[in-house]
Amino acid sequence: MAAHAQQLELAKDVPDLRKQWIATMDGRTRASHASIHGEVRLTKRQFSNGLMIPGDPSGPPEETINCRCRSVAIIPEVAAEVEKEAA
């Protein structure tokens, strides 16, 4: 949560700031989270699973409880490269 607040704060100065979903890939990872591993979105947008961040407190419990994924901020200059790799 704190990380997301920081990302939103940063996005005020960097409007094109992106975020990337990083799944903790092991046997307990939700299939729905493993499948969006590496997904890049604008900071203010939801990921394709409807969450703003991994463990989003406003998300449904079945998508957030015990979620060990994280998200990282991606500056616009490298977003294109990251998106290419994730595709």
Amino acid at 75: I
Does 36 help bind Zn ion (rule: CB under 5 A)? Answer: no
CB-nearer residue toward Zn ion: 46 or 80? 46
Residue corresponding to tokens 């590496």? 38
How many whole angstroms separate alpha carbon 44 and alpha carbon 67?
21
Contact region with Zn ion (CB under 5 A), list: 4-12, 31-39, 44-52, 78-86: 31-39
Verify binding: residue 51, Zn ion, rule CB under 5 A.
Answer: no
Distance of CA 13 to the CA centre of its chain: 19
User: Binding residues for Zn ion, per CB under 5 A?
Assistant: 33, 67, 69
